[in-house]
Amino acid sequence: MYRIVLLLVFTCAGLTEPASVGGKGEYDPMHPQLPIINDGIVNENGRVKRGALPLKFIAPEMETHVAITKNHLNKNMARNVILFIGDGMSIATVTASRVYNGGEEQQLSFDKFPYSGLSKTYCANTQVADSACSATAYLGGVKANYATLGVTATVALSDCGAENRTSNHVASIAEWAQRNQMSTGFVTTTEVTNASPAGLYSHSANRNWENDRQLIADGGNPDVCTDIARQLIHGKIGENLNVIMGGGRRHFLPEWETDVDGSPGTRGDGVNLIKQWKRHHRKHAARYTETREELQQVNGATVDYLFGLFSNEHMPFHLEDEAEKKPTLTEMVSKALDVLEKNDKGYLLFVEGGRIDHGHHKTQAARALDETIEFSKAIEHARLRTSEKDTLIIVSADHSHTMAMAGYSSRGNDILGINNAQIGLDHLPYATLSYANGPGYEMHEEQTGGRRNLLRLNMHRQTFEFPSTIPLAEETHGGDDVPVYASGPWAHIFTGTYEQHYIPHAIGYAACIGDGLHSRGNDILGINNAQIGLDHLPYATLSYANGPGYEMHEEQTGGRRNLLRLNMHRQTFEFPSTIPLAEETHGGDDVPVYASGPWAHIFTGTYEQHYIPHAIGYAACIGDGLHSCTDEQPH
């Protein structure tokens, strides 16, 4: 009782009415000058706290930042690429996580990256993105419709027929990397069939079609459209992934089978996709793991394919007790790098901190911020393991959330607590963190219509639902831009504000993968990167006057095929030809002659082809013609 009374007295002392401003005693309600603002600048030793100092006192930090950003631009080819996506990691989430991690002046690992930018996240048909259309953007370079994966915007939600047309499929950066014989893989704290990682390997008209039961429930036909889990195991990209780690065992097991934890599968077709993965890779150095202990025992130096499913559904929040039995995101990233880094041609790794998003949807800010810290740890590990000389690391988010960090709390105020500088007009305290909508509305509304007194609630409980303005069962995403942080080769091209689907094209440029512009010159086996045809389609740098490539590249409509949809690096790919012939003919143009050694200079100029043996005879003093050794006509 005494503790509560003392707390209320302290609170009332701190939450005072705003002081007047200016010389006339007027009050500026938009920018209140509160007594708390002048508090806490000097610490107990009488020194001004870090962050409250004039610019000259942070000169060492300034010098460090300038040194990093003024370094000569790293224009090496990116041999390796690691793309980290914090699902729902808005700018407010990053800021609040710093405070949660130790204070306003703290830095998360990716705050130290030398380059940053902003990404615009809207879908092709909605102002606010979901994780599917955004994954198609930052992994495939194309904006898609809400809740669709790996397909163009011509595919409407749940349009099974349109999904099946390969002309509507979008090639991801994983496909680009595999064409270049790079190792590929992904790690996530969600189900491996969830929208973000599925953008690497699937083409689906509905992100919810993770297994055949879900596809049927939405009116889809599993005989026509392939569910996402099956695409991961049997799709042309999925079956070649070297690393797959996360949760979601249920999508790979029949509904009558249980997993290692005793939880049932959800497939209705009776297929055990885990067994099929093992069978497919039986001749490879492959390992399937289900526990943290099994993963720790994997020797990445001897394993080429690693499949880890550590939960029946999503992996638990880091704050949950169950999490101690599961590998951390950092542990999964470390093992993934063990497997991937053996490839001399490099690797592409996608890493998702997926449960940041789930914390926000429940307005459980404590979980969202803690997941962000775990995400930051994994990034720090990856950066320490790799070299900036040849490894491009990108950190971003797929979309934002509606969480706001508001008010004028003092430095060091508890980010999960109440604002200590101001109270509401109803004379009740308010939280520093709140949401525009979500389940927190009911949590904080009294039957009388007034707000609940937050001082009576345990705001540090990990499942505490922070206040929301609009009552919804689940909080929504936000439509604001999300941050992008970059380090390594060509990181400087990720500065500025740009469309989200710019990101994979910039990655392709840095790593020289895909069909777009490349930092090391245009791909001779790709499309011309400087011009398109009058039909608004790209054309190949290489083509033939005649040959079998004519049929290969002519549609029945008479128009050319879009080369961006074809694998031009396949060794049997037939390049475009103007005239249809079964076999391409020879050409009649002159051919070059190169010479080195004695009398090589007599091979310059343009001459008849039969001049060549006479010139050879002259240089070597053979034959019946002129000889260099006598310069006379032989008898």
- Return binding residues for Mg(2+): 87, 196, 352
Instruction: Kindly state the DSSP code that residue 168 receives in the 8-state scheme.
Output: G
Locus of tokens 């013609």: 625
Q: Which residues are 404's β-sheet partners? A: 434
Instruction: Kindly state the DSSP code that residue 495 receives in the 8-state scheme.
Output: -
What's the rounded Cα separation, in Å, for the pair 492 and 116? 8
What's the rounded Cα separation, in Å, for the pair 413 and 122? 34
Residue type, 589: D
Q: CA 8, 9, 15: angle at the middle one, nearest 5?
A: 85
Binding annotation? 87, 196, 352, 357, 361, 398-399, 477
Phi first, then psi, for residue 258 (nearest 5°) are: -115, 155
The residues, ordered by sequence, that sit 6+ positions from 597 with a Cβ below 8 Å of its Cβ are 619
Beta-sheet strands, E only, within 87-207 = 115-120, 183-191
131 is catalytic: yes
What's the rounded Cα separation, in Å, for the pair 557 and 239? 34
Using alpha carbons, list the distances in angstroms from residue 40 to 6, 286, 433. Answer: 21, 57, 21
State the burial class of residue 491 (Cβ atoms within 10 Å of its Cβ: 0-12, 13-18, 19+).
Answer: buried
Q: CA 301, 303, 306: angle at the middle one, nearest 5?
A: 130
Binding annotation for Zn(2+)? 87, 357, 361, 398-399, 477
The token pair that represents 588 in the structure block: 């009649």
State the burial class of residue 272 (Cβ atoms within 10 Å of its Cβ: 0-12, 13-18, 19+).
Answer: middle
Q: Of 90, 131, 202, 204, which one is the catalytic site residue?
A: 131
Residue 202 host element (H or E)? none
Instruction: Kindly state the DSSP code that residue 631 receives in the 8-state scheme.
Output: -
The alpha carbon of 63 is separated from its chain's Cα centroid by a whole number of angstroms, namely 31
Phi first, then psi, for residue 365 (nearest 5°) are: -60, -35
Phi first, then psi, for residue 173 (nearest 5°) are: -65, -25
What's the rounded Cα separation, in Å, for the pair 550 and 568? 15
Active site residue ranges: 131
